[in-house]
Amino acid sequence: MENQRTYNPLQYGPVLIKTIIGANVFMFLISLLFSGKDIHLTMNPLFFLSPSISSLKFLGAAGINQIGLIEIWQSLITASWLHGSILHILLNMLALRTVAPLVVKEFGLFRMFTIYTLSGMAGFFLSYIGHVPLTIGASCSICGLIGASLYFGKSRGGIWGQLVYKQTSGWVISLIIFGFLLPSINNWGHAGGLISGIFLGWTFGYIEKRKESVFDKILAVFLAGLTVVLLGKSVSSGLIWIYA
């Protein structure tokens, strides 16, 4: 009898989610390091322990403040891994830990990362079109995961589908409310992430409709490799500039 290994997204999902969180924390610490004495230590909890604008732009923040086509398209990927304060990254990572396991379970490990990356890019692209000066954070990507979950719940139906749809609808309503209450919220990015997440969920399908294919795996690995290269390029350039 052959001993075949069965791919189980639930087995490796926590590892991927922890890796994404770890990468976000690492980039936040790097942004503080690059800020030097320009770190913001305001008493305002929304902006306490904030990296400098110049360090965020150098590391790949998105928005119309970026100059040049190369910088603009690269920032569509890198901006998702940067955050503007300790509260900013804390809230986003808590949201990620809440939403991502569901997407891994229903769409698979590789499709989750692809949706996370592409919806983040879509959110920042829409931000650029909307003339947002400077924008960062994982919220565009997280909104993409919410959008995919929203599509799953509506498409699947049944008791489980209805529960997922109801839960994710609540998250969408919360996003809209916070978008109106907090002036620092990038509503363009959230809308772009949410809409693209719904579209990508429909395009790629979920596990009950279609198992993950070789194409899904290749695309996710390619996006992961591209992300590592772009972030590594910014970090290494900065470290060389500081310590050279």
Tell me which residue of 41, 23, 124, 22 sits closest to 85, measured CA to CA: 41
Instruction: Quote the tokens at residue 129.
Output: 């079109």
Higher pLDDT, 72 or 148: 148
pLDDT over 50 at 3, yes or no:
no
Three-state secondary structure string covering the chain: CCCCCCCCHHHHHHHHHHHHHHHHHHHHHHHHHHHHHHCECCCCCCCCCECCHHHHHHHCCECCCCCCHHHHHHHHHHHHHCCCCHHHHHHHHHHHHHHHHHHHHHHCHHHHHHHHHHHHHHHHHHHHHCCCCCECCCHHHHHHHHHHHHHHHHHHCHHHHHHHHHHHHHHHHHHHHHHHHCCCCCHHHHHHHHHHHHHHHHHHCCCCCCCCCHHHHHHHHHHHHHHHHHHHHHHHHHHHHHHC
Could you tell me which residue, 26 or 174, shows the higher pLDDT? 26
Distance CA 50, CA 86 (A): 7
For the chain, the average pLDDT equals 90
Torsion angle, CA of 185/189/192/193, rounded to 10 degrees? -90
Backbone Cα Rg of the chain: 18
Task: Give the model's pLDDT for residue 182.
Answer: 76
Superfamily of domain 11-243: Rhomboid-like (1.20.1540.10)
Which pLDDT tens digit goes with each residue over 157-183? 999 999 999 999 999 998 888 888 877
> Using one digit for the tens of pLDDT, what is the confidence trace for 207-244?
999 999 999 999 999 999 999 999 999 999 888 777 65
Per-residue pLDDT at 1: 38
Label residue 72 by pLDDT band (50, 70, 90): confident
